[in-house]
Each structure stands twice: as structure tokens, then as C-alpha cells.
Amino acid sequence: MNRIVLVGNGFDISCGLKTSYDDFILWYLKRQLLKLCRSQNRKYKDLLIEITLTQPNNDLILIIKDLNKLSELLDLQNISFNLPNRQSRPIGVLNLTCAINSPILKYSIDSHKWSSIEQSYYYELLELFQEFDNTRRANKYEKIGKIKRLNDQLNYIKQLLIEYLSEIEENIDAKVHTNKYLKDIFNKIKKSPYERDWKISMSEDEIRKNELEDIYYFSFNYTSLLDTHLSDFNVIGQNTLVFNIHGYLDNPESIIFGYGDDSHKDYYNLEQSGIDDFIINIKSFHYPSDEIYETLIGALDSGIFEVFILGHSLGLSDRVLLKTVFEHRNCRSIRLFHRNSLDDHIKKRLALSRHFEDKIKMRERIVRFDPNDILDSDEVD
């Protein structure tokens, strides 16, 4: 029996890395706001936002620089953000106005999740397809231009993300970026397969076939923190392999960033439009660019396996890959590490259910709640 360990951003966050969606957006907005405040210009514009300096304020530079949370920035009375569900600021107190022109960013900021930015992109694609489909042939070129702009915005976010995470990568320290649960987690992953009732009825030959053989770590993160900890804990051995399924920061061309649910009911229409720009950022088209996806499929097909989930939100933006793993005929069990609560375990089960068409199969595969299967009590997607 093999073991497949799926590692998400919650792992990095549980170890203290500032890799949450809020951390990234705070870094981006602070950088652009400070850039304008320190310049002689009154306006700044890029593919995502447009900032206008209405009234210079030197104190504002210090205020922005010291902010540590996205919520603190968005709540500043001196700055107006055109976000849904937020009240506009009185004009008399404003020093800056920040117009978020990208729908990808505008409708995902308040969600605090990486999966939401990818979903926001996909839903905008669907809206643009409706416009495209309902437009006369002579005017379709204009709609294609909108699709290209949306893709340009997503690619710009991708480049910003690579820049941000590369800064974090340079400062990774395994002694600092860790948590007290890691040793126990790695020991559990190395142990024999999970005891289940069906094992009682096995013959000795069948039990031998189900002894743990190879362990595959497939990280959805871009950082090297997992590799660092596996080395420090002497986990990497002849039967343990580690892969970053979405690419590596030291090879920007390998980075996969987009939406990953080609089983969505409306996806067929995008594909059949004949316009490549509608589907160019669907993750499944980029997985075959290297051998990692092929390795994953080989591991699934080679024999029965168990799945461990560490810090992955199980969002729909990774559905094409997660569904392949969870519904595979060789999958025997799925073990969910949680935030030290039954409520969080149930939340993860709800997310997991969206990747199964056969709900009976899903219930059979979920390993029951274990209060000791803790990743972190403060884990965030």
C-alpha cells in the first residue's frame, strides 16, 4: 500500500510563513500606496488598481508602513476602497482613493482565501462568455479583448505572487518557521496503514500486500518549507518522494496558477467556443508540462493507497486533481488533519464532499475524527 500526502497552504501558515491571501494583498496594496505617497505624482495605475492622491499627508506614510493586517488597511478612514459591502468614506477626510478595477481582486478580497481569487476569475470568465455568446459576430472581437484583459490581470497577479513568495523563500528558517505538531504528524505518516474493520477479514497474504510501501508528498505550495522540514526530521528516504505539483519558485516557468475545475457544468461551453483565451488558465492544460502529474497518476495506478490531507482547503479551484485522487478505484481512505476541533474536521468533510459524485464512497473513505490529528489550532487557508 502507498500513501499520498496532499499538502496545502495551511501547512506553511501553520509554521508561521506569511503566505495567506490577506498577507499577499496587504503586501501588494501597501507597496503601491507607499510608492505613490513618496513620489511627486498624484496618480498610480496598473492592471488591477488605480490610486489617486487627493491630499498629501506625510503621517499617512508612517501609518501605512506600520500596518500588519489587511483589515487594518481597508478600515483606514483616510483611504477609500471601492469594495462591495463597504461604506464610502467622507470626502473631507480622504487622502487617497483606491479604485480596484479588476473584478478578480474586487470580489475576492473579503473572502480571505486563495481559492476565492481563482473562483472569482472563473466566474468572471463565465460572465464574459455570456456576453460573447449573445453578441453579434461583427462585435465579438471587442468581447475577446475583454477576455484577454482578464487573463492579463490574472497573469499579473501570478507575477506579483512569484515576487512576493520569492522574498519569503529567501528568509525561510526551519527553526523559526515550524510548529509543535510536525514531529507527531510525520511519525503518523510513516506508520503502518490505518486500522479499519475491513482489515480484520483479510488473509495473511492480503495483509502483507497492504503494508506501507512508498510515501508520496504532493505539495500545492510554491515554497520549499515542506522539503526543509522533511530533511530536518530525516523523513526523506528511499521510499519517500516529494513534489511541488504547482511548480517551483526557482523556475517561474513551472508555476501553475489558475482555475482547476473542468467538470463544472458550464465549462463545456467555454471549451466549445473555440476561443483559447477562455480556457488557457485552466490548470489541467498545464499539468502535462512536466513529469509531476504523470508521477501522481502512476502512484495512483500502481496499487491501493491512503490519502493524508495537511493544510489544504479542498477548494474547487483544485477540483480536477483532487477528484482524480479521491475517486480513484485504488483509494482506500482519506485522513483529514484539522485545527484542533471537530467543527473544523466537519468543515473539511463538507469541502471534501464537493469532489465526490458517489457520496457512499465518500463516507466509506473518510477516516473518523481523531482529536490528535492536529496540524495547527490557528490554521487559515
Q: Are residues 191 and 102 in the same domain?
A: no
DSSP 3-state of 246: coil
**Do 168 and 301 touch, CB atoms closer than 8 A?**
no
Last residue of a domain, one of 90, 106, 122: 106
- Residue labelled with grid coordinates 496540524: 375
Q: Are residues 188 and 77 in the same domain?
A: no
Q: Are residues 194 and 320 in the same domain?
A: yes
In a domain, 164, yes or no: no
In a domain, 151, yes or no: no
Q: What is the pTM of this model?
A: 0.91
Spatial CA neighbour of 218 closest among 301, 320, 321, 289? 321
Q: Are residues 344 and 256 in the same domain?
A: yes
Residues 367 and 344: their CA atoms lie apart, in Å, by 14
Last residue of a domain, one of 61, 85, 106: 106
In a domain, 375, yes or no: no
Last residue of a domain, one of 106, 122, 153: 106
In a domain, 147, yes or no: no
Q: Are residues 209 and 338 in the same domain?
A: yes
Q: Mind giving me the DSSP string for 37-104? A: HTSS-SEEE-SSEEEEESS--HHHHHHHHT--SHHHHHT-TTEEE--TT-PPPPGGG-SEEEEE--HH
Residues 61 and 372: their CA atoms lie apart, in Å, by 46
Give the domain extent around 329.
2-19+171-365
* DSSP H stretches of helix in the chain: 9-14, 21-37, 58-65, 70-74, 103-106, 114-133, 140-170, 182-190, 197-200, 204-209, 225-232, 267-272, 292-301, 319-326, 342-353, 359-365
In a domain, 149, yes or no: no
Per the structure, how many domains does the chain have? 2
Q: Are residues 91 and 183 in the same domain?
A: no
Q: Are residues 10 and 51 in the same domain?
A: no
Q: Are residues 286 and 334 in the same domain?
A: yes
Q: Are residues 86 and 210 in the same domain?
A: no
In a domain, 191, yes or no: yes
Q: Are residues 199 and 324 in the same domain?
A: yes
In a domain, 297, yes or no: yes
Residues 332 and 342: their CA atoms lie apart, in Å, by 22
Render each residue's pLDDT in the chain as its tens digit; 381 residues: 899 999 999 999 999 999 999 999 999 999 999 999 888 888 999 999 999 988 877 788 899 999 999 999 999 888 989 888 776 665 556 788 999 999 999 888 877 788 889 989 999 999 999 999 998 887 888 889 999 999 999 999 999 999 999 999 999 999 999 999 999 999 999 886 655 544 444 556 655 666 888 999 999 999 999 999 999 888 777 689 999 999 999 999 999 999 988 988 999 999 999 999 999 999 999 999 889 999 999 999 999 999 999 999 999 889 989 999 999 999 999 999 999 999 999 999 999 999 999 999 999 999 999 999 999 865 444
Q: Are residues 98 and 81 in the same domain?
A: yes
Q: Kindly state the helix (H) or strand (E) to which residue 305 belongs, with its residue range.
A: strand 305-310
Q: Are residues 229 and 292 in the same domain?
A: yes
Cell of 283: 490548470
In a domain, 133, yes or no: no
